[in-house]
Structure 1
Amino acid sequence: MTLPERSGPPPLVSPDDPVEQVTQPAPRHLQEELLQVLETLPGVEIRPSLVCVPGTKAGHLTPTLAHGPVQAFLAGTEFAHLHPVYDGSLHLMLPPSAVDAVVTAGWGIPAGPTGSVLVYGPRDDAEAEVARHLLLAAYRYACAEPGGSRPS
C-alpha cells in the first residue's frame, strides 16, 4: 500500500486506553461522510463498538461475509469504528503491511492488538479521501477480498 504523506504535525493521542485523538478533531461533516461510507458497505451493520467508549459507532460485518483472518477483527465481527464526535479518529484492522504504510506516511499509530491502527481524523476533504480508502481496505481485509491491503 502506498499512501501520500500526511502534512503537518500529528495530533496528540491519549497515552492510555482507550486510545483517542486529543487534538485536531475531524470536522463533523467529514465524520458523517465516513460513517455514510461504512453504512453503505454490503453486509455491514452499524452498532455500538464492543471495545471502545460509549458513542463509538462500529462496523460489524455479517458472519456470512466475515471470511477474513481473526486478526481482521477487533472483537466479534467488528472491523472498524469511528470514535465519538469530540475525537473523529478511526480505529481500523488492517494487514501488517498496511499498518506499516499508515504509520510511515504519518496517518496514524498502532493501537491495540496486532493489525489495529488508530487513523487520525481527517482535517479536510483530501484527508477524508485517504481515510475512506483505509476504511475500504479494512472492509476488504475483513471479507478476505483480494486487495484488502490496497485502496481502490
Structure 2
Amino acid sequence: MENKLSLTLRSGQSPETTDRLPHSQLTQHGPDHIIDKLHEWCFSLPRVVSEQSGISVPGSRALVINDGVECNRKAFMVGREFAHIHPYPDNGSMHVKLQREDALEVTGKGWGEDHYLVKQGLYPVGLVMVFSPRDDEELETVKSIVKKSYEYATGEAPR
C-alpha cells in the first residue's frame, strides 16, 4: 500500500453533527454541484458499483467492491461496502472505513469525526464520518480520503 494519508487542516469550525444514530452532519453541507461531482467520481472508481447502502439511511449510495475481487474483509462496514454517501439533507457527508492511522489523520485534521459507535466504544477506530466538501478544493481532499478507503479494501490505489 501507499504511504499513510497526510492532510492539511480543514478550514473553519467543524459542522454540527448528531450524537446518536443515525450519525448525520447537520450544517455546512456542500452545494449540489460539488456533491454531484463527488458521486460521479466515486462511482467511476474501478471495480466499484453503486448500491443502496446496507447499513445507512434510505437513499444513501454505497461504494461496493464487485464480487470476485480479492479484498480485505476488515475494510467493509457490511457486505462489500467500504463507504457510502449520505443523501439530502446530509448532502454529501460520507462514512468510510480506514486503517486506524488514516482515521486518526482525518479526525485530527478536522476532515471528519469518529462514527457514533466508535465514540461509544462499540466499534474500533477506523469508521469515520467525512464531512461534506464545500468547494472543489475540499472535494479533492475528500477524494484522497476515499482513495485510502478503497486502497484499504482492495490493497491497490485506484488508477
Q: Does 1:6 find its partner at 2:46? A: no
Q: Does 1:59 find its partner at 2:63? A: yes
Q: Is the 1:66–1:77 contact (alpha carbons within 8 Å) kept by the matching residues of 2?
A: no
Task: Pick the aligned partner of 1:130 from 131, 135, 141.
Answer: 141
Task: Indicate the residue corresponding to 1:121 in structure 2.
Answer: 132
* Residue 34 of structure 1, CA deviation: 1.1
Q: Is the 1:31–1:85 contact (alpha carbons within 8 Å) kept by the matching residues of 2?
A: no
Give distance in 1, aligned partners of 2:67 and 2:106: 27
Report the AA paired with residue 22 of structure 1: L
Task: Pick the aligned partner of 2:26 from 17, 22, 25.
Answer: 22
**Could you state the TM-score of these two structures normalised by the residue count of structure 2?**
0.87
Q: For this pair of structures, how many residues does the alignment match?
A: 147
Task: Indicate the residue corresponding to 1:71 in structure 2.
Answer: 74
Q: Where does the alignment leave 5 or more consecutive residues of structure 1 unmatched? A: none
Alpha-carbon RMSD: 1.6
% of aligned pairs identical? Answer: 35
* Residue 140 of structure 1, CA deviation: 1.1
Task: Indicate the residue corresponding to 1:95 in structure 2.
Answer: 99
Q: Where does the alignment leave 5 or more consecutive residues of structure 2 unmatched? A: 118-122
**Could you state the TM-score of these two structures normalised by the residue count of structure 1?**
0.91
Give distance in 1, aligned partners of 2:67 and 2:36: 25
Q: Is the 1:51–1:74 contact (alpha carbons within 8 Å) kept by the matching residues of 2?
A: yes
Give distance in 2, aligned partners of 1:52 and 1:66: 24
Secondary structure at 2:49's aligned position in 1? strand
Moved over 4 A (4+): none
